[in-house]
């Protein structure tokens, strides 16, 4: 094992609660959905049994209708707010015994289960968890494909990239007059200029309070104050459906539903290609117009294998690696930025509004590899490893200086480094 892998592993050990690996020691003491999946992908490289435990712990939070929540509040005496009291999940029909949030997050979990299976096959584990994954994916298509497009909508920015500028207009529209006072534990740990603003949080709270009235199950965009067909979320879903179909075949089943769903989502995403901008268009359902947003989500169909090879090459050259958009420049050598430099809302330090994130780079490396852009994938993979080597396993990084931002010793940055290093299982 390399020194970098050793340090990555020590971060995961330090954040291990015994039941699950928390995203970070102080800032994020509970279990988050896609964090656990990404952590399990790293664990597949070093300790698949521990990775399976991560999946099991998350699935304890699954609701009767199939939703796997974005947060699971396992018993813990910790300083975190807004916490379980905001959601009051126990009052909702079909909620599990453990307290959870009422939202979901990008469904990376099937991809994690596949990574664990490829590292060390365990058919009985597949028998245990595939029905739960199937139920969650079915729930997404049933409950969230509001417009029948084949793509699912998110109903809260916390289901994707919190304060990304692509959500600004939808948040600005919200009524905030009845939002009760709230506390933010993040403020006790992190610099305010690296986090969402209080105005953003008022919007987040307004959406939660509104969704609470329908037990977090809006039947249409009219019942959901925020309804956004997020390209990034759908790209993760398409890849996860592929992986779920693959897993069913390992069990000797056809996986036909998941395979058909992967094709449906991928075809719908392909229809979002914008030939002028060489990226994919997003859609705010309340606004009703597809648009190029200058947010990194518009590159994510690469991860799901959506573009053909000429499109993928254009996306790389004209967007992902372009100096005036997401790529490196002599003054700001670290890529990929989470917001295009040409977007007036680009902010090099503030959370999902510009900084480089390891998980986004990992998704894009995978996508480039999948489409056969091997040299490009390798360049991004090596850059990402140089970044964590220079600046540690932070939550995100300043693209100009590489300065670590947000929480230090962040679990998915460490876990995905183990995967990017390609450590032997
Ligand atoms: C709110 C845990 C989570 C990630 C999200 C990231 C951030 C929470 C926050 O942290 O969200 O859910 O407090 O800002 O945006 O992607 O899963 O790491």
Q: What is the chain's pLDDT, residue by residue, as a tens digit (425 residues)?
A: 689 999 999 999 999 999 999 999 999 999 999 999 999 999 999 999 999 999 999 999 999 999 999 999 998 789 999 999 999 999 999 999 999 999 999 999 999 999 999 999 999 999 999 999 999 999 999 999 999 999 999 999 999 999 999 999 999 999 988 899 999 999 999 999 999 999 999 999 999 999 999 999 999 999 999 999 999 999 999 999 999 999 999 999 999 999 999 999 999 999 999 999 999 999 999 999 999 999 999 999 999 999 999 999 999 999 999 999 999 999 999 999 999 999 999 999 999 999 999 999 999 999 999 999 999 999 999 999 999 999 999 999 999 999 999 999 999 999 999 999 984 33
Give pLDDT, residue 423: 41
Query: Which of 39, 109, 158 gets mutated to test ligand 1 (max ligand atoms within 8 A of its CB)?
Result: 158
The per-residue pLDDT for 177 is 85
List 356's β-bridge partners, or say none: 337, 397
Nearest protein CA to atom 8 of ligand 1, as residue:
158
Cα separation, 255 vs 332, whole angstroms: 45
186 among known catalytic residues: no
CB of 28 closer than 6 A to ligand 1? Answer: yes
CB-based contacts of 247, cutoff 8 Å, min separation 6:
110, 113, 114, 117, 126, 130, 133, 255
Q: Which among 301, 179, 328, 173 is positioned nearest to 230, based on CA atoms?
A: 301
Cα 87 to ligand 1 centroid, rounded to whole Å: 16
In contact, 411 and 21? CB cutoff 8 Å = yes
Please tell me the pTM assigned to this model: 0.98
Residue 343 CB-half CA count within 13 A: 23
Rg (the chain; Cα; Å): 20
Q: Rounded to the nearest whole angstrom, what is the distance from the C-alpha of residue 405 to the centroid of ligand 1?
A: 14
- Given this model, what pLDDT does residue 424 score? 33
Q: Assess whether 276 carries a catalytic annotation.
A: no
pLDDT at residue 81, rounded to an integer: 95
Query: What separation in angstroms does the CA of 188 have from each of 80, 94, 101, 158, 397?
Result: 10, 34, 22, 20, 20
- Give the whole-angstrom CA distance, residue 68 versus residue 62: 5
- Tokens 């990017």, located at residue: 420
Angstrom distance (rounded) from CA 74 to CA 61: 9
Separation of alpha carbons 237 and 143, rounded Å? 14
Residue located nearest, by CA, to atom 10 of ligand 1: 28
Instruction: Answer for the pair 268, 151: CB distance below 8 angstroms, yes or no.
Output: yes
Q: Does ligand 1 lie within 6 Å of residue 34's CB atom?
A: yes
Measure 38 CA to ligand 1 centroid, in angstroms.
13
Is 128 close to ligand 1, i.e. is its CB under 6 Å away?
no
The predicted pLDDT at position 75 comes to: 85
Residue 360's nearest CA partner among 284, 300, 301 is 300
Contacts of 161 (CB under 8 A, 6+ apart): 167, 232, 295, 297, 338, 352
Compute the distance from residue 158 Cα to the ligand 1 centre, in Å.
7
Q: Which atom of ligand 1 is nearest to the CA of 158?
A: 12
How many Å apart are CA 412 and CA 38, to the nearest integer?
A: 6
- 411-420 helix and 374-391 helix, angle to the nearest 10 degrees: 140
Signed CA dihedral, 341, 347, 349, 355: sign only = negative
Q: Is 406 in the pocket of ligand 1 (CB under 6 A)?
A: no
Cα(43)–Cα(410) distance, integer angstroms: 14
pLDDT tens digits for range 197-236: 999 999 999 999 999 999 999 999 999 999 999 999 999 9
CA 80 to CA 86: how far, in whole Å? 11
């Amino acid at each position: 094992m390399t020194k970098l892998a050793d340090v990555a592993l020590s971060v995961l050990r330090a954040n291990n609660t015994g039941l699950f690996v928390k995203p970070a020691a102080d800032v994020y003491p509970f279990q988050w959905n896609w964090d656990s999946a990404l952590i399990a992908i790293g664990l597949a490289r070093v300790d698949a049994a521990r990775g399976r435990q991560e999946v099991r712990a998350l699935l304890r939070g699954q609701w009767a209708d199939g939703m796997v929540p974005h947060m699971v509040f396992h018993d813990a005496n910790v300083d975190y707010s807004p916490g379980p009291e905001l959601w009051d999940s126990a009052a909702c029909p079909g909620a599990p015994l453990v307290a959870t949030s009422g939202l979901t997050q990008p469904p990376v979990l099937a991809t994690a289960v596949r990574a664990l299976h490829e590292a060390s096959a365990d058919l009985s584990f597949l028998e245990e968890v595939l029905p739960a994954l199937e139920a969650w994916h079915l729930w997404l298509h049933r409950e969230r494909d509001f417009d029948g497009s084949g793509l699912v909508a998110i109903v809260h920015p916390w289901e994707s990239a919190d304060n990304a500028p692509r959500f600004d207009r939808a948040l600005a529209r919200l009524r905030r007059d009845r939002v009760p006072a709230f506390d933010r534990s993040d403020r006790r740990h992190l610099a305010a200029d690296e986090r969402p603003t209080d105005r953003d949080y008022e919007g987040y709270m307004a959406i939660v309070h509104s969704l609470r009235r329908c037990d977090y199950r809006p039947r249409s965009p009219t019942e959901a104050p925020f309804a956004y067909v997020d390209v990034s979320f759908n790209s993760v879903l398409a890849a996860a459906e592929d992986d779920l179909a693959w897993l069913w075949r390992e069990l000797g089943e056809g996986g036909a539903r998941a395979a058909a769903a992967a094709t449906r989502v991928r075809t719908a995403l392909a229809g979002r290609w914008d030939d002028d901008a060489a990226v994919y268009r997003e859609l705010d359902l309340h606004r009703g117009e597809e648009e190029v947003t200058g947010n990194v989500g518009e590159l994510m169909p690469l991860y799901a294998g959506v573009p053909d090879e000429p499109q993928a090459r254009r996306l790389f050259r004209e967007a992902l690696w372009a100096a005036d958009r997401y790529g490196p420049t002599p003054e700001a050598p670290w890529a990929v930025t989470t917001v295009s430099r040409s977007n007036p809302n680009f902010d090099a330090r503030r959370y999902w509004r510009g900084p480089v994130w390891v998980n986004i780079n990992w998704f894009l490396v995978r996508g480039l590899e999948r489409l056969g852009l091997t040299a490009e994938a390798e360049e991004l993979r090596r850059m990402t490893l140089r970044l964590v080597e220079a600046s540690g396993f932070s939550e995100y990084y300043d693209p100009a200086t590489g300065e670590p931002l947000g929480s230090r010793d962040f679990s998915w940055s460490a876990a995905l480094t183990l995967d990017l290093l390609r450590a032997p299982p």
